[in-house]
A and B are shown apart, each in its own frame.
Chain A
Amino acid sequence: MNPFSYERAADAAAAIGLAKGNAAARYLGGGTNLVDLMRETVERPEMLVDVTGLPHGIEPRADGGLLIGASATNTALAADSHVRTHYPLLARAILAGASAQIRNMATVGGNILQRTRCRYFYDTAAACNKREPGAGCDARDGFNRYHAILGASPACVATHPSDMCVALAALDATVHLDGPDGPRSIALADLHRLPGDRPDIETELKPGELIAAVEIPPLPFARRSTYRKVRDRASYAFALVSVAAALDLAEDGTVRDVRLALGGVAHKPWRASAAEAALKGRPANPESFRAAAEVELAAATGLRDNGFKIELAKRTIVAVLGDLTGDEA
């Protein structure tokens, strides 16, 4: 880890002021990802601006939605009673991630901006376009079990590792930003980029911008929602594939509305819009679910180690939607 200075910001304006114009400054949330990357010398910031003092409230909005301060911890968000009642998929997604200790430290802002777990990205001896543009990608023909099956590029096949973001993508969450040029908002689904030929540019954030809050609009049918994560051990492992879903059934047993997002499959939390479109108005049965999954994964391609994830994603979608049609969902 390189030497760095540390500043604690009292509010967003102070944080932005401290980091302004300093390309080597980084905002520090719980540090559970950033500090790891600093230890591996993948990140070498000269200044850390601690933003954990920024708002961390979790407040229901008049419209039934929820406003979450970026510094709310993952633990607090998963435990929030409004979240548990109205957005169970979000609570489940968070609890499926990391460990209790890490969730106690991790912030909502940091979780959204955590970086890929591609091992070649972590190992400075490996070639990685994300770490060093133009260096090549050792993962393409290497160990890529955890890598993308959707939206990847020749330059990078990494995935975004967050569980929480998959639920937020399904919920149409908005991310409120603040920065040197003032506040703005962006849909979570648009925040992360696909790798293209610049995998080093991971989000639409501009230099010096920070995440101030996340807003979730009301979605009454999200009471019937869940998150399923498939992984290599029962806990404390990143998703091979995960599915966040909320289902709204009509009286006649057809799908009135549905929200579906996938994790572990792409460089960003993957909102499964094509599957959603294919499901609306269809009978809520395994055949429709499978057909929708086929549509969503039609463009999926496998690498050396991860071809199984295409079928795994399809099966998990079908299983999750099936669970949500059951009585106890």
Chain B
Amino acid sequence: MSAHSDAAASRPGRWQPAVTQDPLLRKHGAQGSGALGQPVSRIEGPLKVQGKARFAAEFPYEGLCYAALAFSTIPRGRITALDTAAAEAAPGVVLVMTHRNAPRMKAPSLMMSSPTAAGASDLPVMQTDEIHWNGQPIAVVLAETQEQADYAASLVTAGYAPLPAVTSFDEARKTPRQLDNILGQPPVVEIGDAEGALKGAAVQVDQIYRTPRHNHNAIELHAATVAWTGDELRVHDASQLLDLTAGQLADIFGLEADKVRVSSPYVGGGFGGKCLWDHQILACAAAKLAGRPVRIMLSREGVFRIVGGRTLTEQRVALGASADGRLDALIHTGIAAMTAHNSCPEQFTFPTRHLYAAKSVRLAQEVADMDMLANTFMRAPGESVGTFALECAIDELADKLGLDPIELRRRIEPEKDPTSGKPFSSRHLIDAYEKGAERFGWERRSKAPRQRRDGEWLIGMGCATATYPYHRFPGGAARIRLTAGGQVTVSTAVHDMGMGTATAQVQHIAARLGVPLDNVTFEYGDTTLPRGVIAGGSTQTASIGGAVIAATEVFVEELLKLAGNDSPLAGLSLADVETRDGGIGHRDDAARFESYESILRRAGRGELVCEAEAPPPAEMEAFSMHSYGAQFCEVRVSEITGEVRVSRFLGSFDAGRILNAKTATSQFKGGIIMGIGLALTEETNFDPRTGRIVNASLADYHVPVQMDVPAIEILYTDIPDPQAPMGARGIGEIGITGVGAAVANAVYNATGKRIRDLPITLDKLM
């Protein structure tokens, strides 16, 4: 009904980011708000356990055919021969699509380069004979069954004219490149003369840390079911990027934006990987060519070949400190592998931009171009591996200073953001450390390494800081629909990849509108709904919050209008009222109240529908906003074999208000488990001779299994961030940050060995 505008923003009672607080933060005890923070079980849980939740590869269509891909086996060059005859003749084959017969399509554009850009790469998809990475799709086979398609795809053979390719990082790093920005931030930050200060410092740490490539391995394989009706395209996707995917597909196929509908109600894990990759584009193209609906589900190998992951990094952290543990110099520089057609440089210097106070700072990161699959976001891109380097170095410094590592962090705790100079919106890192330390029994840690053992097993403890930025994406909208029966439906094209978005939003909406949980429906996962934001960067909850706040304001204003002069609310405006007990009431006068149902009934209305867009994220401009945490780890390391077992883990977080204790705890734990993989087992084996990923299977790419994961305890401060909608800062990614360092620091405490090269495999400790 009314979209956001600046004039509206200044109306009294409206939430003005950075100026006023979300009114929900003032609300106490109103009916419904009690649900906020409660451990409500996932609302879609029963559907999932009954197998009734339909995932992208489960939508039936009349005449559906199944797709399989054939992949290139060289990293760079041209296809000189492509033999598809055997595949075409194989049983059940509908067609084979290659660059020779694929429909002409525009190339995707790099994410963030335009409002509809969703590409991890801007290379054209199956339009030419050019090969840009080992594993690039060279043919799509459509067949009547998946088995037939898979078999036929194995019969496609290709000949190549290879071109020189850069597939060795050592080679690539000889010609580093500096980007003009790192996700909108300057690639270089200099405060004072950090190198000079380092040289003059009383105590110094100066080390190189290395982190390997990682691949996405969500349990649900990437999949899409697509169907054309005339020039209308319907895509059932596994997506954390609905509106962008629809917009980008429209661009690629030259369609009006409203001709593409993408939906994704359930996703079996995203972590940054369930975005737009070649498979959705190829499925749409093949469906067009065949004139039939197509289902594509990548094999596990296919996910390794065409879905990017976290790139490798080599980082230098150098710390110069005074004898009493203040930082004179803080240096964090390094290089990450990237491609020329990608915009994901793994922003590992980001945590160092705000974590600690230092007299001089130097941060710089570069990229080394390689011929490989495009990088992408993978849970806490940048922070996950950046905190490994930084937090190991801090531990090394504490050791040299003879200080407890928590005490060192107390001494370098900044009062304001050390590089931007902005005030923190809310920062309780030291609180998180203290609570965590007490609960974990940190005082039992021996100061010197190699002091505790149980038979052959050396025991050690380590800690590290976790952090992840707060972001709120602009552009999201929400629609509220109220029925005469008091049922509320809030709709926006957002995503729930299993993290509990819908559940937390139902709680949020119940609290905000003052209605019982059972009266609330949250509609999401479909581009026919009001435009949503992406589920990435731990931003979605806050971004939805911003849109729901704006829609609620319109909703209340509309209801006040409908209530008219015969209501106890007569004469009141947005600024005077709050939503409570299934209606609207005067903030300071319990008697002035009218229920939603009564207002609608008196106005003769069957329903009320309002929609609004979130106000721009001015809070991010005014404040330094981040979540924090303290990770505590205990390990056992075999003195004989070097095997490392994490025996206890505790994460203590300061992530603003927690909306659902159960789903939030699961998010934190899931992040920590992924962090244990990052610390100990995960590594993509990228063969520098061929640029090919060698361990493209879950048998050989080691994610942690049940026995690698100890009981994990989660604490959180639950202190609302005054600048964030609902006071909540986003929790999806912070869990993985700091884990690599906490494990490595514990390994040091156990063994006296510093491993600065992930993963910490047993050979490094023998």
A interface residues with partner B (beta carbon < 8 Å) = 1-3, 39, 41, 117, 119-120, 122-126, 138, 141-143, 230-237, 240, 308, 311-312, 315-316, 318-319
Contact = CB atoms under 8 A, between A and B. Distances in A.
Contact of B640 (A39, A141, A233, A316): A316
Interface string B690-709: 10101111011010111110
B694 A123 contact: yes
A143 B707 contact: no
Given A3-B151, A125-B692, A312-B766, A117 B699 contact: yes
Given A2-B154, A123-B694, 14 more contacts: A1-B151, A1-B154, A39-B150, A119-B700, A125-B690, A138-B689, A142-B694, A233-B704, A233-B708, A235-B705, A308-B766, A312-B763, A312-B766, A319-B640
A234 B708 contact: yes
19 contacts: A1-B147, A1-B150, A2-B151, A122-B697, A123-B694, A124-B154, A126-B690, A126-B692, A143-B685, A143-B687, A232-B761, A233-B681, A235-B705, A235-B707, A308-B766, A312-B641, A312-B642, A315-B640, A318-B640
B680 interface: yes
B706 A235 contact: yes
Q: Chain B at the A interface: mostly helix, strand, loop or mixed?
A: loop
A95 B687 CA distance: 33
A143 B695 contact: yes
Contact of A235 (B695, B696, B708): B708
Contacts of B73: 125
Interface of B: 73, 91, 147, 150-151, 154, 456, 640-643, 645, 680-681, 685, 687, 689-690, 692, 694-697, 699-700, 702, 704-708, 761-763, 766
B645 A234 contact: yes
A248 B707 CA distance: 33
A324 B610 CA distance: 75
A232 B702 contact: yes
A41 B154 contact: yes
Contacts of A41: 154
B763 A230 contact: no
Contacts of A319: 456, 640-641
A232 B762 contact: yes
B633 to A, nearest CB: 15
Given A232-B681, A308-B763, A123 B704 contact: no
A240 B640 CA distance: 14
A315 B765 CA distance: 13
Given A1-B151, A312-B641, A230 B762 contact: yes
B265 to A, nearest CB: 29
Contacts of B692: 123, 125-126
A63 B730 CA distance: 68
A5 to B, nearest CB: 14
A142 B689 contact: yes
A78 to B, nearest CB: 17
Given A119-B694, A143-B695, A233-B680, A315 B707 contact: no
A48 to B, nearest CB: 14
A311 B697 CA distance: 28
B695 to A, nearest CB: 6
A311 B761 contact: no
A97 B154 CA distance: 31
A240 B147 CA distance: 34
Contacts of B707: 233-236
Nearest to A306: B763
Given A1-B151, A316-B640, A311 B766 contact: yes
Contacts of A234: 645, 705, 707-708
Contacts of A1: 147, 150-151, 154
Contacts of A123: 692, 694, 696
Contacts of B643: 230-231
Contacts of B766: 308, 311-312, 315
A308 to B, nearest CB: 4
A240 B762 contact: yes
B91 A236 contact: no
Contacts of A231: 643
Top 6 nearest A-B pairs (CB, nearest first) are: A234-B707, A125-B73, A308-B763, A235-B707, A143-B685, A41-B154
Contacts of A3: 91, 151
B687 A142 contact: yes
A159 to B, nearest CB: 14
B382 to A, nearest CB: 26
A311 B642 CA distance: 11
A235 B687 CA distance: 26
Contacts of B642: 312
Contacts of A233: 680-681, 702, 704-705, 707-708
Contacts of A312: 641-642, 762-763, 766
Contacts of A117: 699-700
B435 to A, nearest CB: 29
B596 to A, nearest CB: 52
